[in-house]
Chain A
Amino acid sequence: GNSVTQMEGPVTLSEEAFLTINCTYTATGYPSLFWYVQYPGEGLQLLLKATKADDKGSNKGFEATYRKETTSFHLEKGSVQVSDSAVYFCALMKPGGSYIPTFGRGTSLIVHP
């Protein structure tokens, strides 16, 4: 079945540091890939997405590239801010399949001033 594997957290960084959160997936065919973010006390919200190989999703300075050859969708940001502290979830969905999004376990990011 479909699955998503994320690096374990927490990831602790100083402000303006470079961020990478790894995500790899298992699925047949060509799933759509997503990153969701959950800020403290809030619901999950979509951060960015990519629907086909080599697509790059980007939003709020975050980027992720859909790598079919390595089945990966790593999240990156060049310079993190304290306000980026949150839990980040990688997810996939198979269009034409079950349409049920599958989520990773989440990676907590803590950014210190």
Chain B
Amino acid sequence: GAGVSQSPRYKVAKRGQDVALRCDPISGHVSLFWYQQALGQGPEFLTYFQNEAQLDKSGLPSDRFFAERPEGSVSTLKIQRTQQEDSAVYLCASSLDLRLAGNTGELFFGEGSRLTVL
């Protein structure tokens, strides 16, 4: 597709369940970001990929959170043993290589995956 696609759009999980959220970035976009957005807050950084390499995962809140991008395209954010505090919208964004001179720095966002943990 033309834009960043995320699935599922909505996920309800029982506490303790594992969930997997998928992001399909714009074709050719090297940089991929995951953000967490709590209700009424701005996006908070979770992790960043350059192609298949995970360059920064300093924002992942605990070792229950894991992200991968094995072929440098589609990415999956996995949350194990979900807790109520994990309830949020998870945003994926992609970009051309931000390290290249002249890159505008624009991120292209998907519509997000809203996770509700009961």
- Residues of A whose CB lies within 8 Å of any CB of B are 4, 6, 32, 34, 36, 41-46, 49, 51, 89, 93, 95, 98-106
Contact = CB atoms under 8 A, between A and B. Distances in A.
Nearest to A6: B42
A101 B105 contact: yes
B98 to A, nearest CB: 4
Interface in B71-118: 91, 93, 98-99, 104-112
Interface of B: 3-4, 31, 33, 35, 40-45, 48, 56, 91, 93, 98-99, 104-112
Contacts of A36: 107, 109
Tell me whether chain B's interface is mostly helix, strand or loop, or mixed: loop
Contacts of B106: 34, 46, 49
A44 B33 contact: no
27 contacts: A32-B105, A34-B106, A36-B107, A36-B109, A42-B111, A43-B3, A44-B43, A44-B91, A44-B93, A45-B109, A46-B106, A49-B104, A49-B105, A89-B43, A93-B98, A93-B105, A95-B98, A98-B56, A100-B45, A101-B45, A101-B105, A101-B107, A103-B44, A105-B40, A105-B42, A106-B40, A106-B41
